[in-house]
Structure 1
Amino acid sequence: MIKLGDKLPVFELENQHAEMFSSTTIESKAVVIYFYPKDFTPGCTAEACEFRDKYEDFKDVGAEVIGVSSDDTVSHAKFSKRHKLPFIMLSDTKGKVRKQFGVKSSLMGLLPGRETFVFDKSGSLIMRYNSIKSKNHISKALKALTNE
């Protein structure tokens, strides 16, 4: 499990374009990595669209946004296109990265958890927020980045 102050783990997953993405490509950037249960569900769509609507605010503070779920790349491509998501969507179909970050299931293990991690430019974890409700993930992440 990742704790405050820990470094961004090294991992590789396919993005929504079925291209390999490595966390090593974002080592000198601040990054928000949010794990969510499922594409096209109401809460997950609301969360993704709020990240989309605030994306320029994240870019203004030098941060990249990355969404991660167990959906495959085809689902991510459709989800990203339908909602005009400008950020990276990663497919963790085997739950390897979810486990690496220590994201626990919610609702008595029925749903994959919803958790947001914010890493500063040096790659250190400065915020970890866990709530199955999509509300507050975006505002808390932005606040963590602007209060660095």
Structure 2
Amino acid sequence: MLEIGTKAPAFSLPDQNGDMHTLEEYRGKKVVLYFYPKDNTPGCTKQACGFGELYPQFMEKGAVVLGVSKDSVASHKKFEEKYGLPFTLLSDTELTCIQAYDVWKEKNMYGRKTMGVVRTTYLIDEEGIIVKAFGKVKAADNPAQMLGEL
């Protein structure tokens, strides 16, 4: 996990519509940047829907929510449409952002070791500095937890 007080790594990734997004374009706003393993899985769906339900409150506090996984743009589009998600999902199929934010780790699934995204959420301030970092977050609790941090 990246250290609090460090500059958040820059990124340029496509969203669920294929439009490119960079961290720089969110300068002046707080950014809740959350990394999740996979679209349409139970935990990731709970987390995304939680952020979706609370999204108006994040906006009131001057924050944007960005979800990042290694799923494709097409997968993100289906996920967004299925659950009516009001925020941006970024596709990082090359793992550049995922690795830059140090969330690509060895995981132990049923005794088998695999590499994957460890559910992690960063709060980045208006200047692009990491002010909070939470690793191995609980999917269902994370949206309310992050709203409380703002």
Please confirm whether the aligned pair reaches a TM-score higher than 0.5, indicating the same fold. yes
Find the aligned partners of 2:136 and 2:4 in 1 and give their Cα distance. Answer: 17
In the alignment, residue 43 of structure 1 is paired with which amino acid? G
User: CA offsets, 1:109-131, max 9 Å, x none?
Assistant: 35421100001222221111111
Residue 120 of structure 1 corresponds to which residue in structure 2?
125
Map residues 14-33 of structure 1 onto 2, 5 A cutoff. Answer: 14-33=14-33
Find the aligned partners of 2:116 and 2:100 in 1 and give their Cα distance. Answer: 17
RMSD of the alignment, in Å? 1.4
Contact 1:129 1:137 in 2 (8 A): no
Q: Which moved more, 1:36-45 or 1:134-143?
A: 134-143
In the alignment, residue 122 of structure 2 is paired with which amino acid? F
Residue 11 of structure 1 corresponds to which residue in structure 2?
11
Map residues 1-148 of structure 1 onto 2, 5 A cutoff. Answer: 2-105=2-105, 106-107=107-108, 108-131=113-136, 133-145=138-150
Find the aligned partners of 2:32 and 2:9 in 1 and give their Cα distance. Answer: 13
Q: Secondary structure at the match of 2:117?
A: coil
Instruction: Give the fraction of aligned pairs with identical amino acids, expressed as a percent.
Output: 37
- Give the deviation of 1:9 after TM superposition: 1.8
Gapped runs of 5+ residues in structure 2?
Answer: none
User: CA offsets, 1:37-96, max 9 Å, x none?
Assistant: 000000000100000001011101100000000000000001001111111100000111
Q: Which moved more, 1:125-134 or 1:95-104?
A: 125-134
Gapped runs of 5+ residues in structure 1?
Answer: none
Contact 2:47 2:141 in 1 (8 A): no
Find the aligned partners of 1:109 and 1:130 in 2 and give their Cα distance. Answer: 18
Find the aligned partners of 2:98 and 2:124 in 1 and give their Cα distance. Answer: 16
Find the aligned partners of 2:42 and 2:8 in 1 and give their Cα distance. Answer: 29
What is the total number of aligned residue pairs between the two structures?
A: 145
**TM, length-normalised to structure 1:** 0.91
